[in-house]
Amino acid sequence: MVVRRLFSPLLKLALLLTLIFSFDLIRSDQEPVLAVDQDIHSITVDTVLQEDGSAKITEHWDITTHEGTEIYKPLVLTDAQELTDYQVSMDGQPFNPQKSWDVDASFAAKAYQFGRNENSELNWGISDYGRHTYQVSYRISNFVMQTDTNQMIYWRFISDNLADSPEAIRMTIASEKEDFNLENNRVWGFGFRGQVHIEDGKVVAESKDTLPSSGSGILLVRIPQGTYPTQWTSDKAFDDYVKEAFEGSDYNWEDYDSNASVEDITSMPGERMPKAVKWGLVGLGGLGVVGILAGVRQAIKRNRALKKWYPSLERRSQELDGQYYRDLPADNIYSDYFILDQLAIDDLDSNYLTGTILYLVKEGGLKLGGEAGLLKDKHYFMVNSAYQAPDLEPIKDWWRIFNEVADDKGQFSEKDFKKYCQSRTDRLKGVSISYRSYSKNYLLAGDFIQNKTYAKAKEDQDQRYLADSQVTYPFTDKGHQLRDNWVKFYNYLKDFSLLNERGAQEVALWDRLLIYAAVLGIAEEVAKEFTSLYPDFEKQSVYSGANDINFWQYYYIANAMNRSYSQSLAPEMTSAMSSGGGGFSSFGGGGGAFGGGGGGGAR
């Protein structure tokens, strides 16, 4: 406590000056403005439940803008809910409300104004370029839902597909009526990698790294029945929502115990992770204000350099909008794993499993058998014992695993694979390592990446040097070109009008395109477009067979296997976490959450 009092005034001054100097840095920097016109440094959402069941919500957006006219947040309420007490300010300066919001109005017309766009968005003017903190507060009536068994909060506090990936997110839920505790409450987090806990009487959730483009901030909280008055009701049981939320998540439905007591949860296998002791800011105090500011200025420059030279797939896709690469960008999907990993593609390892399954099916190594059941399809993979895997280590690794999973008839189901994943995490993590090892060696040999960045004098440290110094294996010029070929290929697959250039006679090529689409995470939408362009695709594709088997059966069973694979790579989800005792959040899952759609940020 003594240390905090000693440095608190210094840190407050440093933070204030940081805003000023950051603004000056961004405005005076003559480097080209990125295609995406903002950097979202952090979003925090603090919710306080009121005794009447409403919620007072306060958001803080720490964001740097370079262009655009407004910032928006998607927010869709149910018929039982109403938004009131809506306010916006920037760095403490209040904005003026507008009854009717015109998204097409000019920068000047929106400056220091706020409103709502068709009751589906919260909107406010950027007002001043540079780095600022916008505070957005509002109240939502009937925020707590009464299910058939319990009350709950199931809300998307931070939307997915934001215009820029926030470097950090944090969400809290407190109550004026009573503290949250494990005696009465349970909590889960979805859409982000981080932690969620009940501590000091409130729910606290925060990310551990940058939020991916498809990430979000969703919290599910169980509350005892009848705690809050509310007109928002559902005839579904609370556990029905839990089961829906768990679908595709790292939580295990089999481990969920709705009747677990506090004693049960604390005695379940696996301990909750303790609170982190955050001494970082205290250590900064010894640097002095000038040292802190110099570090902040340098960090901003390094961050901007990294985003320019090593952007995410979505960012680079926008920068290369209208540019296409119509050929396959590589001879196989494994050689360029390092390139795609640097593009921050969500769930890349899982995408590679889907791509590998499609490859082995196309080459004759795997085949789907079984038939549609009365209640559920009963499909299984058949391993072709005569198949010889190519001399590519990642494929050979998966081929060995599939043979280990298969029974003496050479067959295995998704459940068999799940059991294998639960018992052989070492083997599966070895596959992930083989992706990196194979790709690294290939790209180094081809002069696409280099082992290190050679030191330069400070005056010679240009933006590319600052970016290269932050990655393990910097791209050469050839590497950047290869990366752009993948991005242009992604643009080509996404621009469905161009796919019609491929005639119906090229179904075999379409089958191969799906393998590459899988590692980019867009196999489902590309396959739908193939079928739309050429209805007989499903019948003539290699991913077809007897008993009405087609690509979609392969895709769905691959997705189910992906969930098991992802769980084996993720931090262990204990029974306590699955039962709502807090711990790690899950990136996947969260289906059916309320609160709005995707998007948000500056535009």
Mean pLDDT in residue range 248-273: 69
The verdict on 303 and 343 lying in the same domain is no
Identify the pLDDT of residue 22.
46
CA 30, 167, 473 angle in degrees (round to 5)?
Answer: 75
Identify the pLDDT of residue 27.
39
- For β-strands 168-175 and 38-49, DSSP reports them as parallel
The verdict on 41 and 183 lying in the same domain is yes
Assigned token pair, 175: 């109550």
The verdict on 305 and 381 lying in the same domain is no
The answer on pLDDT for 303 being more than 50 is: yes
Identify the pLDDT of residue 279.
31
Identify the pLDDT of residue 388.
92
Tally of structural domains, the chain: 3
118-134, pLDDT tens digit by residue?
A: 888 999 999 999 999 99
Q: Which of 97, 212, 91 is nearest to 158 (CA)?
A: 212
The verdict on 418 and 324 lying in the same domain is yes
The answer on pLDDT for 275 being more than 50 is: no
Identify the pLDDT of residue 276.
32
With respect to residue 281, please indicate whether it lies within any of the assigned structural domains. no
SS3 assignment, position 398: helix
Identify the pLDDT of residue 4.
40
- CATH number, domain of 167, equals 2.60.40.1730
Identify the pLDDT of residue 301.
76
Q: Which of 249, 303, 297 is nearest to 38 (CA)?
A: 303
Question: What DSSP assignment string belongs to 137-200?
Answer: EEEETT-SEE-SS-EEEEEEEE-SS-SS--SEEEEEEEESS----TTT-EEEEESSSEEEEEET
Identify the pLDDT of residue 568.
66
**Domain extent at residue 147:** 37-270+580-602
With respect to residue 551, please indicate whether it lies within any of the assigned structural domains. yes
The verdict on 42 and 65 lying in the same domain is yes
Q: Which of the pair, 35 or 114, is modelled with greater confidence?
A: 114
Mean pLDDT in residue range 468-496: 90
CA distance 211 to 168: 7
CA distance 404 to 560: 18
Instruction: Report the percent of the chain where pLDDT is more than 70.
Output: 81
Identify the pLDDT of residue 377.
55
The verdict on 126 and 188 lying in the same domain is yes
Identify the pLDDT of residue 527.
83
CA distance 449 to 338: 9
Please say whether the beta carbons of 296 and 460 come within 8 A. no
186-242, pLDDT tens digit by residue?
A: 999 999 988 898 888 999 999 877 888 788 999 999 999 999 999 999 999 999 999
Q: Which backbone phi and psi does 203 adopt, to 5 degrees?
A: -85, 130
With respect to residue 157, please indicate whether it lies within any of the assigned structural domains. yes
With respect to residue 279, please indicate whether it lies within any of the assigned structural domains. no
The verdict on 359 and 231 lying in the same domain is no
Identify the pLDDT of residue 17.
45
With respect to residue 11, please indicate whether it lies within any of the assigned structural domains. yes
Question: What DSSP assignment string belongs to 101-131?
Answer: --TTS-HHHHTTEEEEETTTEEEEE--SSEE
314-332, pLDDT tens digit by residue?
A: 889 999 999 999 889 999 9
With respect to residue 375, please indicate whether it lies within any of the assigned structural domains. yes
The verdict on 295 and 321 lying in the same domain is no
The verdict on 314 and 209 lying in the same domain is no
The verdict on 505 and 592 lying in the same domain is no
With respect to residue 416, please indicate whether it lies within any of the assigned structural domains. yes
The verdict on 300 and 203 lying in the same domain is no
pLDDT range class, residue 95, cuts 50, 70, 90: very high
- Highest average pLDDT, of 140-149, 257-266, 299-308, 579-588, comes from 140-149
Q: Which of the pair, 10 or 549, is modelled with greater confidence?
A: 549
Identify the pLDDT of residue 298.
64
Identify the pLDDT of residue 506.
61
- Highest average pLDDT, of 54-58, 177-181, 355-359, 443-447, comes from 54-58
Mean pLDDT in residue range 523-548: 76
This prediction's pTM: 0.56
With respect to residue 449, please indicate whether it lies within any of the assigned structural domains. yes
H or E stretch covering 428 = helix 425-445
Mean of per-residue pLDDT scores for the chain? 82
CA distance 451 to 474: 7
The verdict on 433 and 448 lying in the same domain is yes
Q: Which of the pair, 108 or 16, is modelled with greater confidence?
A: 108
